[in-house]
Amino acid sequence: MHRVFSTRRLPEATVAYLKNHVELDIWDGTKRPTFEQLVERAQTADGIITSGISIDDALLSKLPNLKCVSTSSVGYDHFDTAAMRRHGVIGTHTPGVLDETVADLTFTLMLAAARRVVEMDAIVRQGKWHGKPENFYFGVDVHHRTLGIIGMGRIGEAVARRAALGFGMDVLYHNRTRKPEVEQRFGLEYTSFEDLLRRADFVVLLTPLTEETRGLMNQAAFDLMKSSAIFVNVSRGLTVDEDALYNALKNGSIRAAGLDVFREEPTPVSNPLLQLDNVVVLPHIGSATQTTRDDMAMLAAKNVVAVLEGRASDAKVISELRDLVKEC
């Protein structure tokens, strides 16, 4: 029987599924396993289920049996895909099952930043509701404004649908490849990165973290945005230059931001962004609902089992390593 080590606890149904197919070992520490602990526990493993743990050459060199690493996330910037290729290890992820949940969270941040929900909540709790001029409480509208989506994958589509059909927004997007069918379905306008930044009232970043997108939102990008615009990041923290974002928010070159992700996670309380009233912050909870996390865990389990049983074409193999499947 194949052996699978999970670096994280799994829902009951996923454990039951895995036990029917593989010999399962689950890390039950409160913190993530260290490199040494991972090497020790996964020593004979054919497959690993994880999320966020770095899968690199140093680790792969110590795990000669390994055939598959299955991440319970759609993002896989913690995979060194070149090293995985060299070691012949297939990587899988969980696209599809989290799209609507992450799109909900994207809108949560847009609405919260626009209507200053966190600031207003604090005012009520601190007994400061009275005695202010009426316009003290004003925010800005989301409906019928212009949304710019950077990164038009499945989550981008789910955000665009909410924006166009629910909120009557004009939606611009920028993506490596054009999506004419999606454009037509929701009336989207494809445009350049720079044009999107200049025209959008809300700029939503949904790109994966790659060498191309690292630091994409830098000072030059924030300088292009309207001073009334709101920036929302639900991708990865490293797609944004946080110092440039801080300056843009502090000096009023953009209005506000909603952030689910940070350069370093958990972000330290000393992060200057946390001092600003015009920022809404969340602890990377884009996909964090019970149903969605259960679905992601089950898909991660099915992926690793499919690869180990020689049915890799049934698994959600990451695009960079799909050609390895043909060689299996």
Known catalytic residues? 236, 265, 284
Considering only CA atoms, which of 108, 195, 186 is closest in space to residue 148? 195
The distance of closest approach from Cβ of residue 296 to ligand DGY in the complex, given in angstroms and rounded to an integer, is 7
CA distance 102 to 155: 7
Q: Which positions ≥6 away from 20 have C-beta within 8 Å?
A: none
Length of the chain: 328
Binding mask 228-267 for ligand DGY (x = CB under 6 A): ----------------------------------------
Q: Does 91 bind ligand DGY (CB under 6 A)?
A: no
Nearest residue (CB) to ligand DGY, 51 versus 146: 51
**Residue 74, interface with ligand DGY (CB under 6 A)?**
yes
Structure tokens at 7: 């670096």
92 interacts with ligand DGY by CB under 6 A = no
Q: Which of 14, 70, 287, 303 binds ligand DGY (CB under 6 A)?
A: 287
Helix residue spans in 43-145 (DSSP H): 57-62, 81-87, 99-114, 117-125
- The answer to whether the CB of 263 falls within 8 A of the CB of 243 is no
Contact characters 34-73, ligand DGY, x per CB under 6 A: ---------------------------------------x
C-alpha span between 71 and 296 (Å, rounded): 9
DSSP string, 8-42: S---HHHHHHHHHHSEEEE---SSPPPHHHHHHHT
Q: What is the x/- site pattern for ligand DGY, positions 110-149, by CB under 6 A?
A: ----------------------------------------
Nearer to ligand DGY by Cβ, of 253 and 289: the residue is 289
Total residues contacting ligand DGY by CB under 6 A comes to: 6
Binding site for ligand DGY (CB under 6 A): 73-75, 98, 286-287
